Amino acid sequence: MPGPSTAILWFRRDLRVHDHPALAYALANFDQVVPLFVVDNRLVHGRWRSPNRLWFLAGALRSLQHELRERDSALTVVRGDPTALVPRLARETGATAVIMTRDLTPYGRWRDVSVSLSLSASGIRHVAGRGLLVHEPEEVPRPAGGPFTVFSPFHRRWLAAPMRAIEPAPSTIATPPEVTAAPDVGPGELLGDPVPTADRALLPDPSEAAARRRLDRWAGSEALLDYAAGRDRLDLEGTSRLSQDLRFGLLSPVDVLVRTGGDGSGHRRFHSELAWRDFYAHLLWHLPRVARESFRAELDGVAWSTDAGAIESWRTGRTGYPVVDAAMRQLLATGWMHNRARMIVASFLTKHLGVDWRVGEAHFMAHLLDGDPASNNGGWQWAASTGTDPQPWFRIFNPTLQGRRHDPDGAYVRRWVPELAGVPGLDGADVHEPPPGVYLDRIVPHADGRSRALAEYARATGMPDSRDSRRRC
DNA sequence: AGCTAGTTCTG
DNA sequence: AGAACTAGC
Ligand SMILES: Cc1cc2nc3c(=O)[nH]c(=O)nc-3n(C[C@H](O)[C@H](O)[C@H](O)COP(=O)(O)OP(=O)(O)OC[C@H]3O[C@@H](n4cnc5c(N)ncnc54)[C@H](O)[C@@H]3O)c2cc1C
């Protein structure tokens, strides 16, 4: 009589036990499950390394260890090369399959192919399934093939695609006793004891339980009802703040969608933001080249500025534009930035300062708790007008007007630029336009930044006539 | 999920 | 003078 069948469940950015399709699959098809996380050296040393995200990851792994212990199981955490370590653990535990949530980034795909090749050499199966997104790329196909390059037709198909059922958290996970007998390894140690660069007191609790509480609160909030308008207010808590939980998979996007169910304008708008997340993930899957290159190749002919002083002023929040500086300081202090603010600062860097979007992309990846290769790249290429369905390049934000409109009382600026709080005579939205001498000099006057951007983009695109420009609106 | 500059309308 | 409108980037 054969022994119990065993599968490895390889966790990556799906660090939860609720609504976990790969976990449900493993439990339904195998007698025993061995949960595993591999600290890939790339996490600690790679291009997108971030102390803030490593700190969050360490906490999320401790949370997962706890959730698994509660269910009579345990998380094995090892550090090194997954291509070697995953097959080794499979052989040691007698596993005949490795189950995981499919990852769609260029590196994730390369890694998974290389692990699956080395597994099949040992006769071990490799099963990668859904769980990262609401819908997989194959579930929202473009009739003509390839990726959707415009959001609205994608969104129509996305809304029409059938939704999978929620998988409840299991009450117990059968795991080999030699695995549960081993004490939990402190993930912080394997991650190099990460110290966040953001202010610890302003960081969210990185546990699944806390993420579920955040979701509960958001699902029952007034802000969700008012999200269609409130999402653009820099000075209010008008958005869900669930991005880091979706990034690390403490929450599944399907769970978020179902729990925020409703047909009001706020609900529908919120769901469409989850569709944007899928849109950019699918795009990167179809066209991995956009990770490095502009989607609109002709715009890689823009002569980007490399002015190190200007870039440093932008990074540290010292451009002289109050709303830009508030946003950049919010990022450094909290590892998060409001979506409207991301658009404003990305537009400012790429248009007013004429700096390559990849410089901004890298800075965001170094600090954002929700830093995600697909959404971040999509957001930057949108703002730089190099992407799919981008901001047309001639629509350039005026940071002062954006601040007045979306921070109408100036509270956002006063929160993050304290030297502008309590300046006599600088009341309400006027904080967005401090008179000369009151605040830092603007590193470039708006009119100059705007006209140099218009000239450079016109040159790079071969100065299309106005009919072409209008068609892209 | 633009903004500017120029023109025409209004009082 | 200032609103309202609009072509063009
Ligand atoms: C230049 C730039 C860079 C960005 N980089 C990232 C990033 O690295 N990671 C990231 O998750 N989002 C990124 N975004 C999208 C968006 O700004 C954040 O998802 C959002 O601000 C997170 O806050 P929230 O959870 O309160 O959002 P909510 O408004 O509550 O939205 C709910 C969820 O929908 C998703 N979402 C919302 N807006 C977008 C969007 N435009 N694109 C893709 N997904 C979206 C996020 O998962 C978010 O948590 C970027 C946007 C821009 C303009």
Tokens of A61: 């792994």
Q: Nearest residue to nucleotide C7 when comparing alpha carbons to its C1'? A: A466
Q: Based on the fold, state whether residues A390 and A445 are members of the same structural domain.
A: yes
- Tens-place pLDDT, residues A257-310: 999 999 999 999 999 999 999 999 999 999 999 999 999 999 999 999 999 999
Helical axes A82-93 vs A106-121, angle rounded to 10° = 40
Strand A32-39 relative to strand A76-79, pairing: parallel
Residue whose structure tokens are 């993050």: A416
Is the distance from the beta carbon of residue A321 to the nearest atom of ligand 1 less than 6 Å? no
pLDDT reported for residue A471 = 36
pLDDT reported for residue A9 = 99
Q: Based on the fold, state whether residues A316 and A414 are members of the same structural domain.
A: yes
Residue A365 lies in a domain: yes
Residue A79 lies in a domain: yes
Report the CATH number at residue A93: 3.40.50.620
Q: How far apart are CA A287 and CA A133, in angstroms?
A: 17
Q: Based on the fold, state whether residues A309 and A367 are members of the same structural domain.
A: yes
Identity of the residue numbered A384: A
Cβ atoms A282, A161 nearer than 8 A: no
Tokens of A216: 């509960």
Cβ atoms A365, A328 nearer than 8 A: no
For A125-232, strand residue ranges (E) read: 125-129
Q: What's the A237 CA to ligand 1 centre distance in angstroms?
A: 15
Q: Based on the fold, state whether residues A120 and A139 are members of the same structural domain.
A: no
Sign of the dihedral through C-alpha A241, A357, A345, A287: negative
What is the number of structural domains in chain A? 3
Q: Based on the fold, state whether residues A305 and A380 are members of the same structural domain.
A: yes
Q: How far apart are CA A13 and CA A435, in angstroms?
A: 47
CB-side neighbour CA atoms (13 Å) of A237 = 8
Contacts of A43 (CB under 8 A, 6+ apart): A49, A54, A57, A191
Residues lower than pLDDT 50 in chain A: 465-473
The ipTM is 0.98
Is the distance from the beta carbon of residue A379 to the nearest atom of ligand 1 less than 6 Å? yes
Residue A361 lies in a domain: yes
Phi, psi of A424 (to 5 degrees): -60, 135
- Last-in-domain residue among A267, A286, A305: A286
Residue A171 lies in a domain: no
Report the CATH number at residue A234: 1.25.40.80
CB A314 under 7 Å to nucleic chain B: no
Hits for CB < 7 Å against strand C across A residues 379-398: 394-395
- State the virtual CA torsion across A321, A326, A328, A333 in degrees, nearest 10: 160
Q: Which of A188, A170, A185 has its CA nearest to residue A72?
A: A170
- Last-in-domain residue among A239, A267, A286: A286
Residue A196 lies in a domain: no
Hits for CB < 7 Å against strand B across A residues 126-155: 151
pLDDT reported for residue A156 = 97
Domain that holds residue A447: 290-461
Q: Based on the fold, state whether residues A248 and A107 are members of the same structural domain.
A: no
Residue A473 lies in a domain: no
Q: Based on the fold, state whether residues A15 and A92 are members of the same structural domain.
A: yes
Closest-approach nucleotide to residue A231, Cα vs C1'? B1
Q: Based on the fold, state whether residues A342 and A406 are members of the same structural domain.
A: yes
pLDDT reported for residue A467 = 34
CB-side neighbour CA atoms (13 Å) of A144 = 5
Q: Is the pTM of this model over 0.80?
A: yes
pLDDT reported for residue A1 = 59
Tokens of A363: 């800075």
Q: Based on the fold, state whether residues A344 and A438 are members of the same structural domain.
A: yes
